[in-house]
Amino acid sequence: MAEGAPRTLIEQFSTREVVELRFTTDDHEEYFDRLAPFAERVEVLPDRVCCTSTTATTRCATFTAAHITPTSALVRRSSLEDVFLHLTGRR
């Protein structure tokens, strides 16, 4: 689907940072619509929800203001996993 150095692929197909959110519920799908307005892309995975954003560190405050309260939030750099999810359209 795409070729290149890892850093190039991340820059081309993802954002600089990702916010990983975990909730107490087993059904993370219910958060997709609530988070979508605040992120460039939302990926619902079985154990977490990933929100890509160029300003991920400020997104946590935005989620709190919108009364979205995860049990944990982690801001991290984008990875090749994020590129894979983007290119395959998987959720």
Residue 1 domain flag: no
Q: Is residue 25 part of a domain?
A: yes
Total domains present in the chain: 1
Tell me the average pLDDT across 58-86.
86
Q: Token digits for 71? A: 């049990």
CATH number at residue 28: 3.30.70
17 is a domain residue: yes
Tell which phi-psi region holds residue 78, choosing left (phi > 0), alpha (psi between -120 and 50) or beta. beta
61: number of Cβ within 10 Å: 9
Q: Lowest mean pLDDT: which of 14-18, 29-33, 40-44?
A: 14-18
Question: Which range of residues forms the domain containing residue 75?
Answer: 6-88
Check residues 18 and 16 and name the one with the higher pLDDT.
Answer: 18
Share of the chain above pLDDT 70, in %: 96
Q: Is residue 43 part of a domain?
A: yes
Average pLDDT taken over every residue of the chain: 85
Residue 57 pLDDT exceeds 70: no
Average pLDDT over residues 38-46: 87
